[in-house]
Structure formats: C-alpha cells, structure tokens
Amino acid sequence: MNHDALLFQDLESVLYTREQLQTSIAEMGKRITRDYQGKSPVMVCILKGASLFFCDLIREIDLPLEIDFMATSSYGSSTISSGEVKLIKDLDRSIHGRDVLLVEDIVDTGMTLNYLKKILMGRGAASLRIVTLLDKPSRRVAPLTVDYICFEVPDAFVVGYGLDFDEKYRNLPEVGILSPRVYAAAEKEKGAEAPHS
Ligand code: IMP
Ligand code: MG
C-alpha cells in the first residue's frame, strides 16, 4: 500500500512511516532484551489496537518470552470516560511470580493501563512494566509510569498500524493524523461522536 492508496486519503498528515516505526521498534526490542537478560517475561498484548505493534516488537526481542492477550473496553460514551474499564478477554494463564510487560498501542488518559496494572499486580506478578507505541502525555488523567515509549504524539486523533477510528484504519501501514472531515462525515451519517470532542 503506498501513499496514493484510498486509506491514506483520509489522513491530514503521516506522522510515522513504516521505516520510522520499524527502526524505533527494533531499538525498543534491543532495550527490552538487555533489560530482561536471564528472565523469561510474559508479553501481554492489549487487543485490538496493539496487535500489529506487538507482532513486530516480539520478533525484535531475543529472550525466551511467552505471549498472552487481554481485551478491554471503557464504559460510557466516547466523550465522557467514567474511568471504569471492562475486561472483555482475560489472560489464559497465571502470571503469579512472572515478569509482565503490558503492550499497548497508545496511552491517552492512562485509565485503561492504570486499571490493568492494579489487577495484574493484585495477581502477584513479580514485576510489571508498560510498553507503548505512542504516548499522548498531554491528555493524562490517571497517574501512570510508562516504561517504554516509541513515540510521543501531539493531542490529535491518530490512526493506522493497529489504531482505529470506529474500527477502521487498523490496516493502514503507517501512523497518521485522521482528517477532521472524516469524523465530521461520520457524525452526520450516524450521529457518531467526534473523538475527544
Ligand atoms: P486511555 O489511556 O485509557 O485513555 O485509553 C487508551 C485507549 O484509547 C487506546 O488503547 C486507544 O484504543 C484509544 N485511543 C486514545 N487515543 C487514541 C487515538 O488518537 N487514536 C485511536 N485510539 C485512541
Ligand atoms: Mg487500545
């Protein structure tokens, strides 16, 4: 897929190209490999957004790691977050005594990870660190330490490389800012709310 593809026409601008994503992910993989020498961490992918990032990242980590998956959704409307997170899919195996790395696509308010961190520490994880492709620190509400970050993004709605708007654009191979005319059109069509409005 190149820049004249249909999906790219809905972007205001491209923030990170395939090459920039892969370079940063390879560096992060090396860092995690160094930091977890002698350990066998459990890498947890938070579905669905982190799935593309997760698949690329774990292939850059030279450790005998294991993988597992979790899925969440937040209660309430898209504009007013209640801070409560609903667990839709839980881990398959116990993480008691394990070194856990939670892998997310983007940290926004921090509520999702704050909630997941509490749950997993409560289950007796030996350690827990947070890994994210993108960080949007300007919107943070919940206190949260993010241990590994590929890129810091401005306060704009971004899509691609796993991140969606209304479940679309996850297959866009690069990360970009969604053109506001897209959510304006979606709003008109079915009364959907603009993100962060
Ligand atoms: P929070 O940190 O609990 O507010 O939620 C983070 C989740 O909100 C992410 O996992 C995304 O699913 C979603 N999200 C936040 N900002 C964006 C964005 O700019 N584009 C797409 N999804 C986003
Ligand atoms: Mg997500």
Atom of ligand 1 nearest to the CA of 114: 3
Q: Quick check: is 108 catalytic?
A: yes
**Residue 196 reports pLDDT greater than 70:** no
Segment 102-152, tens digit of pLDDT: 999 999 999 999 999 999 999 999 999 999 999 999 999 988 999 999 999
**pLDDT for res 169:** 97
Q: Which residue's C-alpha comes closest to atom 11 of ligand 1?
A: 106
Pair 105, 116: CB distance under 8 Å = no
pLDDT band, residue 76 (cuts 50/70/90): low
Length of the chain: 197
**pLDDT for res 183:** 84
For range 28-38, the mean pLDDT: 98
Q: Would you call the peptide bond into 48 cis, given omega within 30 degrees of 0 as the criterion? A: yes
Atom of ligand 1 nearest to the CA of 50: 10
Provide the CATH number for the domain formed by 17-158 in this structure.
Answer: 3.40.50.2020
**Residue 193 reports pLDDT greater than 70:** no
Q: Who contacts 123 (Cβ-Cβ below 8 Å, separation ≥6)?
A: 94, 95, 96
* Burial class, 160, CB count within 10 angstroms (exposed 0-12 / middle 13-18 / buried 19+): buried
Strands 66-74 and 42-47: parallel
**pLDDT for res 194:** 66
pTM: 0.93
- Please state, for a pLDDT cut of 90, what percent of the chain lies above it: 83
C-alpha dihedral over 52, 35, 134, 119, to 10 degrees? 80
Using a 6 Å CB cutoff, which residues line ligand 1? 49, 104-112, 157-159, 163
Segment 45-68, tens digit of pLDDT: 999 999 999 999 999 999 999 999
Of the residues 10, 99, 108, 135, which is catalytic? 108
**Residue 79 reports pLDDT greater than 50:** no
- Where along the chain do its domains lie? 17-158
Please write down the HEC assignment for all residues of 98-147.
CEEEEEEEEECCCHHHHHHHHHHHHCCCCEEEEEEEEECHHHCCCCCCCC
Ligand nearest to the CA of 107: 1
For range 151-166, the mean pLDDT: 96
**pLDDT for res 12:** 97
**pLDDT for res 75:** 62
Q: Which residue's C-alpha comes closest to atom 15 of ligand 1?
A: 108
